[in-house]
Amino acid sequence: EITEEVGITVTNHVNYLESKLFYSSKGEPVVDVVFLCEYQSGKLKLDTDEVSEAGWMTYAEILSGTDSPEWLVESIKKAEKARMESAKI
């Protein structure tokens, strides 16, 4: 599904974290599905029927970005917490 929608391949270790449905500040419906996985290969190439926007940003860039929407900040914090917890194992 990830390859189909955004054109990248990830390792076989994909952990679902959460999904949310809400409306953006522009009134557009947003489905935010968060997975914790490791990038393997490929370049971002969006299926524009399924995904309106994607990009590469570091954890620090998202947290410090003045234009990072709150839902993105919340999702990335949850993913980082899960990543750190899995690294302890």
Mean of per-residue pLDDT scores for the chain: 88
Tell me what pLDDT residue 87 has.
82
> pLDDT category, 74, cuts 50, 70, 90?
very high
Decide if pLDDT at 1 tops 90: no
Query: pTM of the entire structure?
Result: 0.72
Does 89 have pLDDT greater than 70?
no
Contact 9, 41 (CB under 8 A): yes
Count how many domains the chain has.
1
Q: Which domain holds residue 84?
A: 2-88
Q: List the beta bridge partners of residue 53.
A: none
Among left, alpha and beta (phi > 0; psi -120 to 50; other), residue 26 is alpha
**Helix ranges (DSSP H) in the chain:** 2-6, 59-64, 70-88
pLDDT at residue 4, rounded to an integer: 85
Question: What would the mean pLDDT of 61-79 be, rounded to a whole number?
Answer: 89
pLDDT at 40 over 90: yes
Cβ contact 69:20 at 8 Å:
no
Rg from Cα positions in the chain: 14
